[in-house]
Amino acid sequence: MSGMQVQEKKTVTLGSLWRDKKSRGVIMQIIAVIGILLFLGNIVSNTVENLDRLGVKVGFDFLTSPANYDINQTLIEYDSSDSHFRAGLVGLLNTLLVAGCGIIVATFLGFTAGVLRLSNNFVLSRLMQVYVEITRNVPVLLQILLWHGIIIHSLPVPKRAEAIMDMFFATNRGVYLPQPIPQDGFGWVWIALLVAIVFAVLFKRHANKVQEQTGKLIPAIWIGAAAIVGLPVITFLLAGAPIEMSYPVLKGFNFKGGFVIKPEFMALWFALSLYTGAFIAEIVRAGIQSVSHGQTEAAHALGIRPNFTMRLVVIPQALRVIIPPLISQYLNLTKNSSLAIAIGYMDLVATIGGISLNQTGRALESMAIVLGVYLFISLFISALMNIYYKRIALVSR
């Protein structure tokens, strides 16, 4: 009798869980996840069996074999005798470099163009409109090829390049600049820079608290910028200027020494920045227009100057509308950097997903690495931006 009662209680418990809307939703999600994992596992199992049947070796051991190809731009030491893993790391750093530089310039350009589109100045407003409409409606690949062609065909060959300030040379093989080479003691400069950045962040928070409590404006941005620039410079001088300069010198048909910015990088950087900046400009314009005009009128009635009204009243409220679509544009710029292969910029796709794949024949493994890296980068950018968005989001009570 007691066993039947226990069985009845269990049946009632399971039934109540299924009848509850929230519990039923969780159960359905668990079932769906299990189904997807089983489906993917089946695909992987069939793929491995078919590859074994064809005699195709599967594994990532190819990453340790010599790459046997050169890369035209490297941020770390590399030569053709290094492994495919090292080549992929160089390509990854090149991808992160162009994505990071592109995000910075596109953000600055987009915010500037978005604000100027709402300017009362007719000429500036129309110029920004022309820039946005033309750039957004031309495929980004064509813009990359256009900028690459302009740089290659408009700049002179190294032998005909004229020096700018006796230090800079702009050629169709790249822009050559003096390269600082740190010496012993330069580590103190990096420490000073880190301390200055921490100080700038903490001082900005202090200034915000003072503004909220008293309404007093402290030029935290200028003070922070002065600290970031001044403290490392003072430390550099006190350490005895521990740095040597390597200047570009024409030897034969090209320059030796110094630092070179390759035309492929410049073309990709300019094109991605201009293209993404046009979309960001529209996002910024929409965000500013979403803020009630009464906010601006109230600020003007209090005697707040227009530039402070935009910076302290309008933009902070507009950011809550701007940030979500801005995340998508950052992700698009990062993924569009894979078009670098069209102009020979050696990024992750061109190294692991291109030459290494063709040399080793490991298409499955190579593309899995490329896809996994891009997925991780995208999720990382999205996570950082979502953290920032939560900080500025309105908190309801």
Burial 281-315 (b: 16+ CB within 10 A, else e): bbbbbebbeebeeeebeebeeeebeeeebbeebbb
If residue 121 lies in a helix (H) or strand (E), which one and from where to where?
Answer: none
What are the pLDDT tens digits along the chain (397 aa)? 444 444 444 444 666 766 777 777 888 889 999 999 999 888 878 877 887 777 777 778 889 999 989 998 888 899 888 999 999 999 999 999 999 999 999 999 999 999 999 888 899 999 999 999 999 999 999 999 999 999 999 988 888 888 887 788 888 888 888 888 888 888 899 999 999 999 999 998 888 888 878 878 788 888 989 999 999 999 989 888 888 888 888 887 888 888 888 999 999 999 999 999 999 999 999 999 988 888 888 888 888 888 778 887 888 888 888 999 999 999 999 999 999 989 989 999 999 999 999 998 888 889 989 999 999 999 999 999 999 888 877 654 4
* DSSP bridge partners of 168: 164
Helix axes 263-290, 84-117, angle to 10 degrees: 40
Q: Count CB neighbours of 389 within 10 A.
A: 16
Q: Where are the domains of the chain?
A: 31-56, 84-178+247-392
Under DSSP, is residue 249 helix (H, G, I), strand (E, B) or coil? Answer: strand
Right CATH for 84-178+247-392 from 1.10.3720.10, 1.20.140.10, 3.10.20.30, 3.40.190.10? 1.10.3720.10
